[in-house]
Every structure is written in C-alpha cells, then in structure tokens.
Amino acid sequence: MDFSPSEKTEAILQMIRDFMKKEVYPAEREFMHGTFSSLLPMLEKKRAKVKQMGLWAPQMPEEYGGMGLGFMDHARVSEELGRSPLGHYLFGCQAPDAGNMEILHKYGTNTQKKVWLEPLVRGEIRSCFSMTEPEKPGSNPTWMETAAVKDGNDYVINGQKWFTSSADGAKFAIVMAVTNPDAESHLRASQIIVPTDTPGFNLVRNISVMGHKGEGWPSHAEVLYQSCRVPQSNLLGQEGMGFVIAQERLGPGRIHHCMRWIGIAERSFELMCQRAVVREIAPRKRLGTKQIVQAWIAECRAEINAARLMVLDAAHKIDTLGVYEAREEVSLIKFFCADVLSKVIERAIQVHGALGVTDDTILSFFYRHERAAHIYDGPDEVHKVAVARRILRRFGGGT
C-alpha cells in the first residue's frame, strides 16, 4: 500500500511547514509563559494569514469555507500541525471544535448549521463537548447520571460534568445526557446543544491539570447543569443516538489525535537529535557519540515510523471500509501511538538533561500535557481489552 501524499497534498504540506517555522514556533514561548487571552490578538492575526493562504479548516467542505481535504490528506495535515500546541488552533481545526463541526455537519438541522456550525467553522465562536462526569467512569460512557427531561417543548438538563475542555469562553456545549433511561444501555443518551449563556449552565472552575489551570481554549472545566432549559429543537440527530454519534465522532477523531501525536513525537525527536549533536559531555565529545543515545535515536525513529504506518493503514481502512470495520485498527493505534509519544518525549527530555525539564524548550509542555493521551478517547486498557477479546474470539475463546 502506497501512502505517499499526492503532489497537490505535498505542496499544501510544504506551505504548512513553512508557516509553522515562520509564524507558529516563534509564538510558542509566549503561549507557554503568557495567558491565552493576552495572546488572542496575535493569534487572530495569524489565523487571518492562514485564511488568506487558503489553508483554513482543512477538514471542512469548501462550501463552509474549509479546504475540503479528504480524510487521508487531513491526517497528513494533522501531523504537521501537531508539531506545535498552537498548530490546530491557528488552522481552525482544534479539538474539541473540529469534532463538533463534524457531528453538526453530519447530524445538524439546517437551523443548527446556520446558528452554530457556520460561525464555528469561520472561527468566530468556540464550543465544547460535555460528556465525562466526575462520579461515573468516562471509560464506560453508556453509564452516566446527567439527565435531560422533557417539559413542554423543552429539555431540562441536570447533572455534573468535568473535563469539558475549552468550555471557558465557548458559545455552546454539546452535552451528553440520558433522555431514555429505560432503553438498552447504548440507546439511553442523546446529544443536546446548550448555549453557554443558558441559565443553569454553570462553569464551576477550570480544573488545574499538571499544575496549570488553563484559560480560554486550553482549559478543562467542571460544569454544573442545574435545571438548564433548552428547546427540544436543540437535539442533535435522533433521541437516544448520543452514544452512537459519539462513537462516530471518536473513530475518525482518533486518527487525527494519533497523527497529531506523531507530529509531537517528530518534533521531540528532532529536538533530541539537535541536542545530541551539539552538547559536549567532555572536551570534543558530543552526546550523540554515546551508544545509549544512538540506540534511543534508532529506537525512536523505528517507533515513529511504525506508528505513522499503522495510523495511515487505519485511516485507509476507515476510508475504504468504514469506521465499524476499522475498529480493531483504531484501537491498536490509540494505545500504540500514545505509548510511542510518551517514550519519545521522555527520551528527548533525558537527552536535554536539566534543560529538558525547564520551560525553555517545548518538551516540558509536551510532557505535562500529553500524558493524558493514555486516558482520553478511551483509556489504553479499554482499547487493549477490546482488541484482545476480539482476537481471542477468533480462537474460539475470550469474554
């Protein structure tokens, strides 16, 4: 299978690489040391440049102002953008908005598209996805407490969510809530659009993660829904289909996450190699001459290459056979790529010594923020168990 990008895609990737070097990496220092809101005017200018270059919202159809790239091409773009924590944001395809765009595009009514999707794609507003609850296991999203009860033409939502990423400053949330408590487990919940200025949408706090509370887009909120009333016309798709829609969002979403992680791994790898060839550990003796460092470099190279091929293979399978048929490959890449990511960042930090744990390089940011890769979008163990059970079934066993 030849996964090389087409000439047209390669040209787009080169434009993105150039923009990343000129405009994105130099902004990282301010991002690491400043507040998100203080950075917004500068980020808006850079977003305007991306739009002018025709590189905005690569994954969205052209009629919405996006580039209309296919799934495989967007996967490639995601790797390039993933090299910086600002990449996806500056190109209008950041989580959780990109996933929300996808499901609004697929399941939204015309009115929902006009009111929420169009300004979201234009980058005028932000959104969040509110599924996980502190008192229930996020790894089993069919089991949740938040309920949406019909009252007249409305839903009244009550419940507690947390890790609603980017809720701070978002215009709307897509909330998972139980609407059909008597249905079988995966048909109980629905996804409902809740404008964040609705009375009863209460952002309790931005949760401090790895010593950083975050603010605006890079933040994770606890949200209390207290008699939060929205019209039933805010239902996304069919009632009871919340879990099915979430699964559909997560399949392709995992490809994009994995490619983003590969971008981070490549960047960390480059930093590691750059450091290894300049750092003298004795007069005229560079770190890169040490076999253990050479072994790390070779191992990282092999692991990143393997991860990328696995992700492109899974993406190809989704493209040709659909999300359901590709579920095993998607589970494999989810934990494999998270593992490769952690290992590469860890070794890159080690090669940098004390410098690696300072905030003078991007590595410490990656180390703090990407640990979560093993947890979100399904913890590693859930994917491993799912894959192993399917394999064992083929051998006549496994429960």
Ligand X SMILES: Cc1cc2nc3c(=O)[nH]c(=O)nc-3n(C[C@H](O)[C@H](O)[C@H](O)COP(=O)(O)OP(=O)(O)OC[C@H]3O[C@@H](n4cnc5c(N)ncnc54)[C@H](O)[C@@H]3O)c2cc1C
Tokens standing for 263?
């971008």
Among 139, 185, 233, 294, binds ligand X (CB under 6 A): 139
Q: Which of 59, 146, 164, 331 binds ligand X (CB under 6 A)?
A: 164
Q: Per CB under 6 A, which region of 123-131, 199-207, 249-257, 324-332 contacts ligand X? A: 123-131
Interaction between residue 218 and ligand X (CB under 6 A): no
Residues in contact with 316: Cβ distance below 8 Å, sequence separation at least 6, in sequence order = 1, 3, 72
Query: Is position 261 an interface residue for ligand X (rule: CB under 6 A)?
Result: no
Nearest Cα to Cα of residue 249 among 59, 87, 56: 59
* Least distance CB 376 / ligand X (angstroms): 4
- In what helix (H) or strand (E) does residue 390 lie, and over which residues does it extend? helix 380-394
Asked if 146 interacts with ligand X (CB under 6 A), we say no
147 membership: H or E segment, kind and range: strand 147-151
Is residue 230 at the binding interface for ligand X, with CB under 6 A as the rule?
no
In the complex with ligand X, the residue whose CB is nearer, 67 or 93, is 93
Q: Is 381 in the site for ligand X (CB under 6 A)?
A: yes
Q: How far apart are CA 261 and CA 124, in angstroms?
A: 27
Q: Is 130 in the site for ligand X (CB under 6 A)?
A: yes
By CB under 6 A, residue 179 contacts ligand X:
no
Considering only the stretches 60-68, 72-80, 125-133, 270-278, report the one whose residues sit in contact with ligand X under the rule CB under 6 A.
Answer: 125-133
Nearest alpha-carbon partner for 326 in 339, 316, 334 = 316
Cα–Cα distance, 311 to 328 (Å, whole number): 12
- Determine, following the binding rule CB under 6 A, whether residue 165 of this chain makes contact with ligand X: yes
- Indicate the residue whose CB is closest to ligand X: 138
Measured between alpha carbons, how far is 307 from 173 in angstroms, rounded to an integer? 33
Q: Is 385 near ligand X (CB under 6 A)?
A: yes
Tokens for 76, please give them: 């490639």
The window from 23-31, 81-89, 163-171, 234-242 that contacts ligand X (CB under 6 A) reads: 163-171
Packed helices 71-82 and 242-278: angle between N→C axes, nearest 10 degrees = 50
Can you tell me which of 85, 87, 96, 263 binds ligand X, judged by CB under 6 A? 96
- Please say which residue, 36 or 376, places its beta carbon nearer to ligand X: 376
Q: 321 to 380, contacts with ligand X by CB under 6 A?
A: 372, 375-376, 379
Run of H or E including 93: none
Q: Does 138 participate in binding ligand X (rule CB under 6 A)?
A: yes
85 binds ligand X per the rule CB under 6 A: no
Residue number with CB closer to ligand X (54 or 137): 137
CB of 162 to ligand X, least distance (A): 8
| Residue nearer to ligand X on the CB measure, 273 or 382 | 382
Rounded Cα distance between 132 and 276, Å, is 42
143 binds ligand X (CB under 6 A): no
From the list 319, 327, 326, the residue with the least C-alpha distance to 71 is: 319
If binding is defined by CB under 6 A, does position 100 make contact with ligand X?
no
Tokens of 264: 């981070």
- Does residue 163 touch ligand X according to CB under 6 A? yes
At what angle are helices 242-278 and 327-352 packed, to 10 degrees?
Answer: 30
Q: Which is nearer to ligand X, 220 or 308 (CB)?
A: 220
CA-to-CA separations, 103 to 99, 106, 112, 252, in angstroms, rounded: 6, 5, 11, 11
Distance CA 266, CA 191 (A): 36
Tokens of 364: 């410490």
For ligand X, the closer of residues 165 and 342 by Cβ is 165
282, burial (CB in 10 Å: exposed 0-12, middle 13-18, buried 19+): exposed
* Interaction of residue 39 with ligand X, rule CB under 6 A: no
**208 touching ligand X, by CB under 6 A:** no
Under the phi-then-psi rule, with left for phi > 0, alpha for psi from -120 to 50, and beta for the rest, what region is 237?
A: left
In whole angstroms, the minimum distance from the beta carbon of 19 to ligand X comes to 26
Q: Does residue 137 bind ligand X (CB under 6 A)?
A: yes
188 binds ligand X (CB under 6 A): no
Query: What are the residues binding ligand X (CB under 6 A)?
Result: 96, 129-132, 137-139, 163-165, 220, 372, 375-376, 379, 381-382, 385
